[in-house]
Amino acid sequence: MVSMTDTQGSVIERTPMMSRRVVGFLMVLVFGALALAPDLVNPGLLFLIGLTLIQAVFALSWNLLFGYTGLASFGHAGFFAIGAYFTGAMLRYTVPIPFLGMLVIAAGLGALVACLIGLVALRRLAGIFLAVLTVALTEVLGRLISYSPALGEHDGLGNIPRPKIGLVLWDLDLTSSRAYFLFLLCACSLITAALWWLVHSRTGRVFQAIRQDADRAAFLGINVARYRLLSFMISGGVAAMAGGLFAPWTRIVTLDEVNWLASTQPILNTLLGGVGSFWGPVVGAVAFTLINYWTRTFVGLSEIVIGGTLVLVIIAAPTGIIGLLHTIRNWVFQRTAGKGGTHERLP
Amino acid sequence: MIVSKSIFVLINGLASGMAFFLVAAGLTWVFGILKILNMAHGAFFMIGAYLAFSIVGSNPESMWSFLGAGLVAGLVVGVLGYLTDKIVLTRLRTVDYHYVLIATFGLMLFCEGVAKWIWGIDYFSVMPPPQVDQALKIGSSYVSGYTLFVIAAGLVVFAVIDTIMHRLWVGKIMRAVANDPWMAGTLGVNVPAILTISVIASFALAGFAGGLLLPNQTLSINVGSSFLLYSFLAVVIGGLGNIRGTFVACIILGVVESANATFMANFGGIAVYIVLAVFLVWKPNGLFPAQGST
Amino acid sequence: MNVSPNTILASEGLRVSYGPIEVLKGVSFSVGNGSCLAVIGPNGAGKTTLFKVLTGEVASRAGTISFQGADVTKVPAHTRTSLGMGRTFQVSRVFLELTARENVIVAIESRRRNAGDYGAPWWRWRPARQVVEEADALLFALGIAHLRHASAASLSHGDKKRLELAETLALEPSILLLDEPTAGMAPGDRMQIVELIQTIRAERGVSVVMTEHDMDVIFNLADRVLVMNYGEVIAEGTVAEVRENPTVRAVYLGQDIYNAAH
């Protein structure tokens, strides 16, 4: 089958939109602006920005699997919910584990579940089996939670307190929105940096080789099944960690986090922003928040817009926003570029 | 006591199995021929159910108006299928299957949004037509006539599809296309037409099933997703794209689900996933590991 | 199995069936260390299947394969590769979205991973300097150094073959399994590939097993020839011996063996 990514060029060294220096400068600028956000915007907007940060990390975890390893999960909300309900319950019932430890355990749980699913699904026909099993995971989790009084059944787990982090020299009190937002910003940035490192590392190169041609990768001595499993576990772990950060921010976790629509979110964000780009999911998460914000009052409209956008993006613009920008830039600056996918690196 | 309970479980399980099959049949048909796992299938089932409800209301006057509403729903959804195929699916024929899965996923959301917009988010319930509304006594337990009606409907639909696929020339062409579309094309089969017809048939079946299963549960926007999920499980357990395998898998899932609901009511809906896991480990290629044959 | 120490790769009684059709009916052969064996035969003779069994792509129903004295019959493809069996494909397979250099880097890093030595600390995301240098040296050796920053998708057919070969050599294999190394190439390019393989053999001392249609290529490269027909070995020997073999002549039905390509 023809891969839609054929037109996108290399994922490792695609023609960069901007040089690394510019990207780095932009990152610092965005980080600085976000760090000032609690003092500049109203609480409602701050809440949305926080959610967008979490969704961006969630989408990045999904794209590690899809854009880099070539596997699609349709129940990623399951991993997110594992993290969200775990930290939610731990904080709610004041289990004496430090918050950072909770996040690590949440990630471990996500990775463990991913490992179990992966062992079954990745044996054969990876794609379809993984799709069905991940959907099933979300469904089973939703049911188990709805039967569990401790997790709030259908009403959700509410009144989740925000944590305090005891560091060696001083205690970090994250009870206020401002403090937790800043913590969230740092955590999301660190996770993003770690993922960036991963996909650009030699392990990331193996993932990309597997996505492009799994058979050839095997004949280069790469254990394809093991690396697919590894990617799935990291992806599940990061998604669970995003969920773990989510619970204390919203202070309530409900079954809305464990359904199909929630699983679509990272898919949509990634495709909207651009599959072939590391920053695509982040751009998509921001774009999506904006769309959702403008259509929030109309019954059914958000589904129509989300679903319609997904279909439209796949049919008309498989490279997403970043791909479109790319095309526009090529069109403006170098009309001759883009022939046959030749990619000369910028100096 | 155990015996009568078992009969109860069996009959109810058979009924839910047939209900799953009514939805899964179209799904597996399209999967077998287009190699597309249509995530929007449940949404079109849901649209069929709402259409039939709009025609026939909460209390169907007779069996004929009930069946008629189902047929009209099937026809309309079939037309929607044609449009979907022309607008979306034909553009995805050469695209990596992951993107096709995601696109149909988007289509599902789109349909749910439109349905919410048209019919609102209220729940409706529909009575079975009077002819099948009585309870029948089997042993010491009561079974509703509608339950038997669903079983019969499932068997009839299976018989029709199986006859088409394995006895008629159309079925031979379909199987040829499923096996090797390129080869079938060189032998003079109009492959695009076969693909389009399959999509229309599958959607029409979904719409018809929506009408028939109206009294089976309350009608809401989410009515399609649980059916779709069971259909997925059935398609995977039965052997991807194999109609007989799907049929058997639906019966297994239905009976397991029914036994689960009767004997372990506190954990309803969990046992089928255990069954899924067992089958995936035991028979990863499905009950009927078909090479493209439907 | 009786394997002499001079044998690098040997098979004994390989049998493969696709459904009711038996494609390999007990194939046995051996390749001497450092030598080059060409597998020829009409279309449908089972050459490609034999190739797939040797590389681990297809499992045999019966028989054994031994590589460097060890039984590898049940060993998965990626492990065979890391043991030192490098292969190329009939239609060259490279990672289209990566540049030529990155393609080779992936292969080198894979070899180093299996050897347990990356040559760089774990946190370093860029490929180690010596990895890049090795990649460039390989690209240079195969005459495509000037294309190292081009995406593999943009390479010509012949250059893709070279790149694929560079990747395979990056694994430092002790045997090269080449599936139709000159398929679909212009005669001039063919001879370049032949010279390239000769150089590789001379410099690295690797053994070669190849399937090939072109008799000129075989003449120039092969020490021994294995002739297959209907899933069986019908002759084995030097090029000259095989050409004089009456069975082989009968199989090729009086065709000029030089043009017996199809």
Give tens-digit pLDDT for A163-220.
Answer: 888 776 677 788 888 999 999 999 999 999 999 999 999 999 999 999 999 889 999 9
* Nearest CA-CA distance, residue C122 and chain A, Å: 9
Measured between alpha carbons, how far is C157 from A185 in angstroms, rounded to an integer? Answer: 49
Within an 8 Å CB–CB cutoff, is residue A10 touching chain C?
Answer: yes
Measured between alpha carbons, how far is C98 from A14 in angstroms, rounded to an integer? Answer: 8
Q: Least CA distance to C56: which residue of chain A? A: A219
Q: Angle of helix A20-40 relative to helix A43-63, nearest 10 degrees? A: 150
Chains contacting B (3 or more CB pairs within 8 Å)? A
Name the pLDDT band for B276 (thresholds 50, 70, 90).
confident
Return the pLDDT at A107: 97
Q: Least CA distance to B282: which residue of chain A? A: A120
Tokens 């090729």 found at: C252
* Nearest CA-CA distance, residue A203 and chain C, Å: 9
Name the pLDDT band for B293 (thresholds 50, 70, 90).
very low
Q: Least CA distance to C87: which residue of chain A? A: A219
Measured between alpha carbons, how far is B57 from A56 in angstroms, rounded to an integer? Answer: 45
Name the pLDDT band for A58 (thresholds 50, 70, 90).
very high
- This prediction has a pTM of 0.85
**Cβ–Cβ gap A131/B37 under 8 Å:** yes
Q: Strand order in C7-18's β-sheet?
A: C21-32, C7-18, C62-67, C70-71
Give the CATH number for residue B100.
1.10.3470
**A301, A310, A315: residue with CB nearest B105:** A310
What does the pLDDT average to over A84-93?
A: 94
Dihedral, CA of residue B112, residue B114, residue B120 and residue B124, to nearest 10: -50
With 0-12 / 13-18 / 19 or more C-beta atoms within 10 angstroms meaning exposed / middle / buried, residue A297 is exposed
- The neighbour count for residue C144, using CB atoms within 10 Å, is 24
Measured between alpha carbons, how far is A199 from C129 in angstroms, rounded to an integer? Answer: 19
Give the CATH number for residue A287.
1.10.3470
Residue A160: domain span:
4-341
- The neighbour count for residue A347, using CB atoms within 10 Å, is 4
Helical H segments across A122-162, by residue range = 126-146
**Cβ–Cβ gap A212/C97 under 8 Å:** yes
**Cβ–Cβ gap B117/A304 under 8 Å:** yes
**Cβ–Cβ gap B270/A143 under 8 Å:** yes
**Cβ–Cβ gap C110/A200 under 8 Å:** no
**Cβ–Cβ gap A216/C95 under 8 Å:** yes
With 0-12 / 13-18 / 19 or more C-beta atoms within 10 angstroms meaning exposed / middle / buried, residue A182 is middle
Cβ contact B27:B213 at 8 Å = no
pLDDT over threshold 80, residue A346:
no
Return the pLDDT at A96: 86
Neighboring chain C residues of A343 at a CB cutoff of 8 Å: 99, 149-151, 154
* Domain count along chain B: 1
Return the pLDDT at A89: 94
Q: What is the DSSP letter of A156?
A: -
**A8, A12, A217: residue with CB nearest C102:** A12
The CA angle A261-A245-A91, to the nearest 5 degrees, is 110
What one-letter code names the amino acid at B228?
Answer: L
Query: Which H or E run includes C208?
Result: strand C207-211
Dihedral, CA of residue B276, residue B282, residue B284 and residue B286, to nearest 10: -70
Within an 8 Å CB–CB cutoff, is residue A1 touching chain B?
Answer: yes
Return the pLDDT at A17: 60
Measured between alpha carbons, how far is B108 from C242 in angstroms, rounded to an integer? Answer: 64
- Give backbone dihedrals phi and psi of C211, rounded to 5 degrees, phi first: -100, 145
3-state SS, chain B, equals CHHHHHHHHHHHHHHHHHHHHHHHHHHHHHHHHHCCCCCCHHHHHHHHHHHHHHHHCCCCCCHHHHHHHHHHHHHHHHHHHHHHHHHCHHHHCCECHHHHHHHHHHHHHHHHHHHHHHHCCCCECCCCCHHHCCEEEECCEEEEHHHHHHHHHHHHHHHHHHHHHHCCHHHHHHHHHHHCHHHHHHCCCCHHHHHHHHHHHHHHHHHHHHHHCHHHCCECCCHHHHHHHHHHHHHHHHCCCCHHHHHHHHHHHHHHHHHHHHHCHHHCCCHHHHHHHHHHHHCCCCCCCCCCCC
ipTM of the complex: 0.86
**A135, A139, A304: residue with CB nearest B113:** A304
What is the topology classification, in CATH, of domain C1-80+173-185+208-262?
Answer: Rossmann fold (3.40.50)
Q: Angle of helix B2-34 relative to helix B191-212, nearest 10 degrees? A: 150
Give tens-digit pLDDT for B6-49.
Answer: 888 888 899 999 999 999 999 988 888 888 888 899 999 999 99
- Helix, strand, coil shares of chain C as percentages rounded to 5? 40, 25, 35
Assigned domain for A346 exists: no
* Nearest CA-CA distance, residue A247 and chain C, Å: 31
Give tens-digit pLDDT for B86-132.
Answer: 888 888 877 777 788 888 888 988 898 899 888 888 888 888 888 77
Dihedral, CA of residue C241, residue C247, residue C251 and residue C253, to nearest 10: 90
Q: What are the DSSP calls for A71-124, one per residue?
A: ---S-HHHHHHHHHHHHHHHHHTT-S--HHHHHHHHHHHHHHHHHHHHHHHTTS
Helix (H, G, I), strand (E, B), or coil: what is residue C63?
strand
Within an 8 Å CB–CB cutoff, is residue B107 touching chain A?
Answer: yes
Within an 8 Å CB–CB cutoff, is residue A209 touching chain C?
Answer: yes
Assigned domain for A347 exists: no
**B97, B102, B225: residue with CB nearest A1:** B97
Task: Enumerate the β-bridge partners of residue C207.
Answer: C175
Measured between alpha carbons, how far is A122 from A105 in angstroms, rounded to an integer? Answer: 24
**B94, B113, B269: residue with CB nearest A143:** B269
Helix (H, G, I), strand (E, B), or coil: what is residue A325?
helix
Measured between alpha carbons, how far is B228 from A319 in angstroms, rounded to an integer? Answer: 29
Give tens-digit pLDDT for B236-248.
Answer: 888 777 888 899 9
Choose the mutation target among B35, B99, B270, B281 for the interface with A, i.e. most A CBs under 10 Å.
B99
pLDDT over threshold 90, residue B159:
yes
Query: CB contacts < 8 Å between A and C, how many?
Result: 108
Cβ contact C93:A212 at 8 Å = no
Return the pLDDT at B17: 92
Measured between alpha carbons, how far is A142 from B223 in angstroms, rounded to an integer? Answer: 16
Helix (H, G, I), strand (E, B), or coil: what is residue C237?
strand
Return the pLDDT at A335: 52
Neighboring chain C residues of A220 at a CB cutoff of 8 Å: 78, 81, 106-107, 110, 167, 171
**A70, A72, A306: residue with CB nearest B101:** A72
Return the pLDDT at A336: 47
Q: Distances from the Cα of C234 to the Cαs of B246, C52, C97, C260, in angstroms? A: 48, 20, 43, 16
Measured between alpha carbons, how far is C232 from C138 in angstroms, rounded to an integer? Answer: 38
**A213, A220, A341: residue with CB nearest C151:** A341
Name the pLDDT band for B294 (thresholds 50, 70, 90).
very low
Q: What is the DSSP letter of A66?
A: I
Within an 8 Å CB–CB cutoff, is residue A252 touching chain B?
Answer: no
Measured between alpha carbons, how far is A102 from B280 in angstroms, rounded to an integer? Answer: 33
Cβ contact C67:C9 at 8 Å = yes
**Cβ–Cβ gap A218/C81 under 8 Å:** yes
Name the pLDDT band for A285 (thresholds 50, 70, 90).
very high
Same fold, C1-80+173-185+208-262 and C85-170: yes
With 0-12 / 13-18 / 19 or more C-beta atoms within 10 angstroms meaning exposed / middle / buried, residue A222 is buried
Q: Which residues contact A245 (CB under 8 A, 6 or more apart)?
A: A54, A57, A83, A87, A103, A184, A187, A188
Within an 8 Å CB–CB cutoff, is residue A68 touching chain B?
Answer: no
Cβ contact A140:B270 at 8 Å = yes
Within an 8 Å CB–CB cutoff, is residue B123 touching chain A?
Answer: no
Return the pLDDT at A187: 95
Q: Mean pLDDT, chain B, as a whole number?
A: 85
Chains contacting C (3 or more CB pairs within 8 Å)? A
Helical H segments across A41-68, by residue range = 43-63
**Cβ–Cβ gap C98/A12 under 8 Å:** yes
* Nearest CA-CA distance, residue A340 and chain C, Å: 6
Name the pLDDT band for A339 (thresholds 50, 70, 90).
very low
* Nearest CA-CA distance, residue A121 and chain B, Å: 8
Measured between alpha carbons, how far is A78 from A90 in angstroms, rounded to an integer? Answer: 18
Domain ranges (residues) in chain C: 1-80+173-185+208-262, 85-170
Measured between alpha carbons, how far is A251 from A293 in angstroms, rounded to an integer? Answer: 21
Q: What residues 69-88 of chain B have any CB closer than 8 A to a CB of chain A?
A: 88
Residue B274: domain span:
2-282
Whether CATH 3.40.50.300 fits C85-170: yes
* Domain count along chain A: 1
Return the pLDDT at A12: 38
Comparing A22 with B268, the larger pLDDT belongs to A22
With 0-12 / 13-18 / 19 or more C-beta atoms within 10 angstroms meaning exposed / middle / buried, residue A171 is exposed
Q: Least CA distance to A127: which residue of chain B? A: B98
Return the pLDDT at C103: 94
Cβ contact A260:A174 at 8 Å = no
**C93, C94, C127: residue with CB nearest A202:** C127
Cβ contact A146:A154 at 8 Å = yes
Helix (H, G, I), strand (E, B), or coil: what is residue A313?
helix
Return the pLDDT at B290: 53
Tokens of B18: 């047939």
Please measure the distance between the N-terminal and C-terminal CA atoms of chain A and give it in whole angstroms: 35
Q: Least CA distance to C83: which residue of chain A? A: A221
The percent of residues above 90 in pLDDT, for chain A, comes to: 42
pLDDT over threshold 50, residue A337:
no
Return the pLDDT at A3: 37
Q: Distances from the Cα of B54 to the Cαs of B43, B176, B180, B193, B218, in angstroms? A: 16, 40, 42, 32, 14
Per-residue pLDDT of chain C (262 residues; tens, 9 = 90+): 455 668 899 888 889 888 778 888 888 888 988 899 999 888 878 888 898 899 888 888 888 999 998 899 889 999 999 899 999 988 889 999 899 999 999 999 999 988 888 777 888 888 888 999 999 999 998 889 999 899 899 998 889 989 999 999 999 999 999 988 888 788 888 888 888 899 988 888 899 999 988 888 888 888 899 988 888 888 888 888 888 888 877 776 555 554 544 4
With 0-12 / 13-18 / 19 or more C-beta atoms within 10 angstroms meaning exposed / middle / buried, residue A187 is buried
Question: Long-range contact list for B167-171, CB < 8 A, 24+ apart?
Answer: B171/B294
Give tens-digit pLDDT for A296-323.
Answer: 776 667 778 878 888 888 888 777 788 7
**C77, C99, C113: residue with CB nearest A10:** C99
What does the pLDDT average to over B59-70?
A: 86
